[in-house]
Structure 1
Amino acid sequence: MSDPVRGTAFDVLRAVDERDAYVNLLLPTLLRERGITGRDAGLATELTHGTLRRRGTYDAILGHLSRQGIEGIDPPVLDALRLGTHQLLGMRVPAHAAVSTTVDLVRRTSGHKPVGFANALLRRVGEKDLDTWVTELTAGLGEDQALSISASHPVWIVQALRDALGPDGDLRGLLDADNLPPKVTLVARPGLSDPSELPGEPGRWSPYARILEGGDPGEIAAVRDGRAGVQDEGSQLVAITLAEATVDGQDDRWLDLCAGPGGKAALLAALATRRGAHLVANEVQRHRAELVEQALRQLPDVEVTVHDGRHGPWEPESFDRVLVDAPCTGLGALRRRPESRWRRRPEDLATLVPLQRDLLDRALDLTRPGGVVAYATCSPHRAETVEVVDAVVSARPDVTVEADHQWWPHLHGTDAMFCALLRRG
């Protein structure tokens, strides 16, 4: 490959489009396989993540300039053009280098036929800066449509986030935060490591957190051997919220009903172990259960099970604390998983919301009177958060909501995690 950095970014974009690949898993793998390290790895990461984050804006520009619109551009050529547009408008790459490297990429991956088209289109993109393009393309549009282009979020997500924030919320601040690369956050698992032995600054909210400015967390010994992990502070706060809730009487049976890939389960297990409690970490998919086992490898007393959480073999009222980290749209982690905003559709809620309600209802059945359930989603969408809780609790006079929390990237520096604490009466 004559340009392995741009070629790797291109390959990741194609994998996202063709087979719904996850960037956070695929990109590090390709970088290792191709021996791309240091500044080149950083460039490949910025090219990939930056292009995906700003794809909505770049597509609006490319669609405006192309006579056939976005839909008429061959997908591999379109991905190359997106990479070129990001270099022209979102990075400090000289215009001639951005155009020539992208044209070379098009020639190598799609042949000679689209080369002239790509060259001409990118030269037109480079005639104006990003702010000028956005101003021109959003003139006369409604507020949500304009935000969709300028902040690079699908309109339905803009509307969902506006609804979740409420009338006084800083929607623009949230959308901008989604487009910033998140810092790497570490968690020291209690009893296995101490935050003081980890690099970075203390977290704002979790006593176990350390925030890194950069670097590879895999090079940290405590992370390599499972005594610490990489975990957003919002995710840590969910486990802490459940663990710190008051429970009268016995407190030795804990359950994580949807444990994959294992970050919350590992912190919860460490907290449980220090109190002499036993955690069951359940996951419906075998390959994700294996990830849970890997995360829990320093906590061998935890029981990892593979069941549909709605129908697992546990006795009613047999647990003191239960975590339901429910499958969701993931709209709270758009800065961390930039491809999600283009992958998800509003119709996904029709499948996810009934599942979320069923899992929460089952968790409450499995909790003894006086015990607590934490219901969490990495999404602030009201249909997946307060509306799920309200629907389940309204049909259960034996349950009360003690608290709910919504953390935000632009306010707390975390993913947009939701957590409600419910008590079984």
Structure 2
Amino acid sequence: MPERPSRPRPRGTRPGQRPVGGRPPRVDVTRLAAHEVLTTVRTQDAYTNLVLPAVLRKHGLAGRDAGFVTELASGTIRRRSTYDAVIGACSARGLRALDPPVLDALRLGTHQLLSMRVPAHAALSTTVDLVRHVANQGAAGFANAVLRKVASRDLDDWLQELAPAREADPVAHDALVHAHPAWVVAELRKALHASHPDDDVSDLLAADNVAPGVTLVARPGLSTRGELPGEPTPYSPHGVHLDGGDPGAVEAVAQRRAGVQDEGSQLVATALAGADLDGRDERWLDLCAGPGGKSALLAALAAGSGAVLTAHERQLHRAGLVRRNLTLADGTAVPGAGAVVVGDGTRPAFAPGSLDRVLVDAPCTGLGALRRRPEARWRRRAEDLLELVMLQRRLLAASLDLVRPGGLVLYATCSPVLSETADVVESALAQRRDVSLVDLGPAFAHVPGSRGPLEGTVQLWPHRHGTDAMFLALLRRD
């Protein structure tokens, strides 16, 4: 994990000593920036990965400082429940009595003390200064007392004291140790054991807590994998794992001939584009296209087959992101890209039986992408599932109506939860005699351990494949 870069101390002070005189100490800008990220994510339901670049630009942070802020903010959000348990054990007031800005600062300090290579005196003094800045002197004294108790033990010791025994309550144990809500642990355990009964869910939960690297995708006909810096991805023929640096500085990415895309998402597009199809193969549709990463790859693949991809998105602002992804930096369209249509995916404005291939990358809980969206685990609730599943079933039913006899629909979710994956597909198969499941096993023979919960489906896993936990099912209209 990044270590806080050293900064010059005020003249005449020792490490950890505050400058003398009447002026209050200046708050460390990297801690202030990380606190601003936490505040924005908490108060505006924002996404960490979208807030970070704006905050870094605002404070003029780059290089090691930017890396420090990214790890501090993302890591703190990711492990929030674990840190809250530790803070609660060190505070007689209880978490509910703490003002949110003070609690956010304590979380940042706890992450530095327990999970980063930051000297204890630096973590303590800078966090106390931060609390004084966002609250007052009294709160700063309280924070100092709490964090000294936090620093008295390492993370393993705290977990041993606070977590219930795994033998007695495995869900509660894993929820605290790996910082996932208990209902999420239970759903992921059930989903993992449906495909891999011998896997330990703790390996999956631990993988969720490792920030993913950057993966690039070369869009066929526009760029090649060979011109992208990095190690080729093991499963997608179009990707590389970026060695480091800013992906926007890569020429092909800047020109939008290539993009940033998880390998699992690349495999969704290639699975639909590469599936055998009898007869006409001219009209493709991405039904839930926003923000457009899969659309851009699908369009490039469609162009190579002489087809045209239409992108469909319900939300107007997300449709704008799709258009951007389907447009090169010089203003020309990505080859194979057709119209971007705004509308309701459960009632799309296309003639029944008029399409050849349709991708339904359905809205879901997103529990397969917790590595890159650390805040998602704390926002989703178990009660969200029913509404999402009903939407997923309607979207799949609509897409099956759109394809011609012999046409293909790929249903995908960035969630392994069984009610969003196997149950949705089984429901569609039970309700329609004109639909059959196409076996994706041969196409994923090069991806070991990718068998899904239904025979012929695919389930990718962070701990097995280093990808988001994408589910894929290919259906044919008979």
Question: Is there any run of 5+ residues in structure 1 with no aligned partner, and where?
Answer: none
- SS of equivalent residue, structure 1 residue 229: strand
Q: Which letter does structure 2 place at the counterpart of 1:5?
A: T
Instruction: Indicate the residue corresponding to 1:313 in structure 2.
Output: 349
Instruction: Indicate the residue corresponding to 1:404 in structure 2.
Output: 457
What is the CA deviation profile of residues 88-130 of structure 1, one whole-angstrom value per residue up to 9, with x for unaligned ones? Answer: 0000111111011001111101122311111100000000000
1:41 aligned onto 2:77: no
Offset of 1:324 from its aligned partner? 0.2
Give the alignment partner of residue 134 of structure 1, picking from 128, 138, 159: 159
Give the alignment partner of residue 10 of structure 1, picking from 32, 35, 38: 35
Matches within 5 A, 1:318-329: 318-329=354-365
Residue pair 1:316, 1:367 contacting (<8 A) in 2 also: yes
Work out the CA distance in 1 between the residues paired with 2:271 and 2:120. 50
Offset of 1:170 from its aligned partner? 2.4
What is the CA deviation profile of residues 134-185 of structure 1, one whole-angstrom value per residue up to 9, with x for unaligned ones? Answer: 0111144611101111111110110000000113222111011001110100
Residue pair 1:47, 1:83 contacting (<8 A) in 2 also: yes
Residue pair 2:229, 2:242 contacting (<8 A) in 1 also: yes
Offset of 1:214 from its aligned partner? 2.1
Work out the CA distance in 1 between the residues paired with 2:311 and 2:59. 36
- SS of equivalent residue, structure 1 residue 113: helix
Offset of 1:29 from its aligned partner? 1.5
Work out the CA distance in 2 between the residues paired with 1:155 and 1:109. 32
Offset of 1:33 from its aligned partner? 2.6
Work out the CA distance in 1 between the residues paired with 2:270 and 2:321. 21
Residue pair 1:233, 1:414 contacting (<8 A) in 2 also: yes
Q: Which letter does structure 2 place at the counterpart of 1:256?
A: D
Offset of 1:55 from its aligned partner? 1.1
TM-score, length-scaled by structure 2:
0.87
Instruction: Indicate the residue corresponding to 1:149 in structure 2.
Output: 176
Query: Which deviates more, 331-340 or 57-66?
Result: 57-66
Q: Which letter does structure 1 place at the counterpart of 2:267?
A: L
Give the alignment partner of residue 158 of structure 1, picking from 185, 193, 202: 185
Matches within 5 A, 1:229-244: 229-244=259-274
Instruction: Indicate the residue corresponding to 1:196 in structure 2.
Output: 226
Matches within 5 A, 1:4-403: 4-140=29-165, 142-166=169-193, 167-298=197-328, 299=334, 301-402=337-438, 403=456
- SS of equivalent residue, structure 2 residue 280: coil
Q: Which letter does structure 1 place at the counterpart of 2:340?
A: V
Work out the CA distance in 1 between the residues paired with 2:81 and 2:234. 32
TM-score, length-scaled by structure 1:
0.98
Residue pair 2:77, 2:374 contacting (<8 A) in 1 also: yes
Q: Which letter does structure 2 place at the counterpart of 1:405?
A: V
Offset of 1:224 from its aligned partner? 1.0
Work out the CA distance in 1 between the residues paired with 2:96 and 2:266. 42
Instruction: Indicate the residue corresponding to 2:15 in structure 1.
Output: none
Offset of 1:71 from its aligned partner? 1.8
Q: Which letter does structure 1 place at the counterpart of 2:44?
A: R
- SS of equivalent residue, structure 2 residue 383: helix
Residue pair 1:262, 1:295 contacting (<8 A) in 2 also: yes
Instruction: Indicate the residue corresponding to 2:450 in structure 1.
Output: none
Q: Which letter does structure 2 place at the counterpart of 1:223?
A: V
Q: Which letter does structure 2 place at the counterpart of 1:419?
A: L
Q: Which letter does structure 1 place at the counterpart of 2:188?
A: L
Offset of 1:310 from its aligned partner? 1.0
Q: Report percent identity of matched pairs.
A: 60
Work out the CA distance in 1 between the residues paired with 2:110 and 2:247. 31
**Greater CA radius of gyration, 1 or 2?**
2
Work out the CA distance in 2 between the residues paired with 1:66 and 1:396. 58
Work out the CA distance in 1 between the residues paired with 2:216 and 2:200. 28
List structure 1 segments (4+ residues) > 6 angstroms apart after TM superposition.
none
Query: Which deviates more, 37-46 or 384-393?
Result: 384-393
Residue pair 1:324, 1:373 contacting (<8 A) in 2 also: yes
Q: Which letter does structure 1 place at the counterpart of 2:32?
A: G
Work out the CA distance in 1 between the residues paired with 2:368 and 2:29. 32
Residue pair 2:286, 2:311 contacting (<8 A) in 1 also: yes
Work out the CA distance in 1 between the residues paired with 2:369 and 2:91. 32
Work out the CA distance in 2 between the residues paired with 1:191 and 1:175. 38
Residue pair 1:162, 1:169 contacting (<8 A) in 2 also: no
Offset of 1:401 from its aligned partner? 1.1
Instruction: Indicate the residue corresponding to 2:12 in structure 1.
Output: none
Offset of 1:60 from its aligned partner? 1.0
Work out the CA distance in 1 between the residues paired with 2:326 and 2:376. 27
Residue pair 2:36, 2:55 contacting (<8 A) in 1 also: no
Offset of 1:235 from its aligned partner? 0.3
What is the root-mean-square deviation of aligned Cα atoms in Å?
A: 1.1
Q: Which letter does structure 2 place at the counterpart of 1:151?
A: H
Q: Which letter does structure 1 place at the counterpart of 2:136?
A: G
Work out the CA distance in 2 between the residues paired with 1:107 and 1:68. 18
Q: Which letter does structure 2 place at the counterpart of 1:185?
A: T
Work out the CA distance in 1 between the residues paired with 2:136 and 2:471. 48
Residue pair 1:364, 1:424 contacting (<8 A) in 2 also: yes
